[in-house]
Amino acid sequence: MSVVAHLPRRAQSLTEEEAESPPAMELTGRHRMSEDERTVAATIFDEFHADPRYREFVLGCLNCGECTTGCPAARFYDFSPREMLQIAATGDATTLWDALQEKIWACCQCYTCNMRCRFGNDIAGIISVMRELSVIHGLESTRRTLAPFGRSLTLLMTVGTQVSSDMIQPDFFRDWGPFATGSDQVWQVTPEVMRKAIPLDVLQTTRSSWEVSVQTSLELFRIYEETGVLDMLRGLDPDLTEMLVDIVEERREEFAEARERFSSELAGQRGPVATFTG
């Protein structure tokens, strides 16, 4: 038997009355929601409650605040996991919409709240569900929040690692100080030579965390295509997504050419290397 069923639940979406009368918070000077925003908020609310993870992650709340006591984000932001859980458990479409605008992005995903919650709520997890919905629906606030991630998303989608040493540029990471980047300025060699001095051949690149084989990166891209991640990204940043598709198309051609070039070595191979064509 699930406990969630016993939590007082608001309507699954906005009632006519709610839709027509602005919620109290708006009277205190909050941004007034447009009709379109109300519709999206109602859809998100329904999808949130229909997500199978909802019943697993939100088990009830005593309002004890144990989660917030250990929360790093609560120390520096106007944010609390207790509030997030309360919004998930009993909030309405408007409250959820409000949380999606900014608060959900304060969370560090450290899972301290989960460890401390006597109810066994997965608070970090339910915040991730909220974030996913804000990405899927391409909320303007989410676009702004994730705008600095174009480079790391490109790496992640095309080769499957998220950092490269050429991303750690001294200019961008000034607050890390002069010794933080294995810097060529300190050692007076190029970044490429610094990477050559790592005794692992697959790490001797500046463009990715390690060299990822083309087959592996194409398999990853296939996962993104098949599991809806590419569509998710399209909703958020269509231009970036088209660029990624182009990059991967080129890699597919490169892979097909390599299959010809290495045909004799590949002839004896079985398993994934033989069946996967990109």
Partner 1 sequence: MLSASEIRKVVEERTLHQKGTGKKVVDVREEMERLEDRGEILVHHIRPENRPVATTTLFGWTKQIPTDRLWHHKSCGQCGNIPGYPSSLLWLMNETGRTYLNEPHQTSCTAWNYHGTATSNPVALAAVAARNFHRAYETDHFPLIHCGTSYGDYKEMRKLLVENAAVREKVRAVLRKMGRDLVLPEEIVHYSEWVHVMAPEILARQQHPVRGIIATVHEPCHYYKMVPEDAIYDDRVYAGQRPAVPSGILLELGATVADYSTWYDCCGFGFRHILSEREFSRSFANLRKIRPMVEEAHADVAITSDTGCVTTLDKSQWIGKAHGAAYMLPVLSDVQFVALALGAHPYKVAQVHWHAASAEGLMTKMGIDWNRAKGEFQEYLRALKDGARPELLHPAHGEIEQFFAINKGQVLPDEARASTLNPTPPRSEGRGAD
Q: Which is nearer to partner 1, 233 or 248 (CB)?
A: 233
Examine residue 31 and tell whether it contacts partner 1 (CB under 8 A): no
> Residue holding tokens 């708006």?
26
Which residues in the 43-102 window bind ligand SF4 by CB under 6 A? 61-67, 70-73, 81-82, 85
| 220 to 239: interface string for partner 1, x by CB under 8 A | x-xxx-xxxx--xx--x---
| Contact indicator for 158, 221 with CB cutoff of 8 Å | yes
DSSP state of 21: S
Tokens of 31: 């941004």
Q: How many CB atoms lie within 10 A of CB 29?
A: 7
| Contact indicator for 152, 163 with CB cutoff of 8 Å | yes
Examine residue 104 and tell whether it contacts ligand SF4 (CB under 6 A): no
Examine residue 105 and tell whether it contacts partner 1 (CB under 8 A): yes
Which residues in the 112-141 window bind partner 1 by CB under 8 A? 112, 114-115, 119-120, 128, 131-132, 134-135
Examine residue 13 and tell whether it contacts partner 1 (CB under 8 A): no
Distance CA 11, CA 90 (A): 10
Distance CA 167, CA 260 (A): 34
Provide the minimum distance between the beta carbon of 25 and partner 1 in the complex, in angstroms, as a whole number.
Answer: 17
The residue from 109, 141, 190, 269 that contacts ligand SF4 (CB under 6 A) is 109
Examine residue 216 and tell whether it contacts partner 1 (CB under 8 A): yes
Distance CA 13, CA 39 (A): 9
The residue from 14, 96, 100, 113 that contacts ligand SF4 (CB under 6 A) is 113
Q: Which is nearer to partner 1, 34 or 263 (CB)?
A: 263
Q: How many CB atoms lie within 10 A of CB 274?
A: 11
Distance CA 133, CA 232 (A): 9
Examine residue 169 and tell whether it contacts partner 1 (CB under 8 A): no
Examine residue 215 and tell whether it contacts partner 1 (CB under 8 A): yes
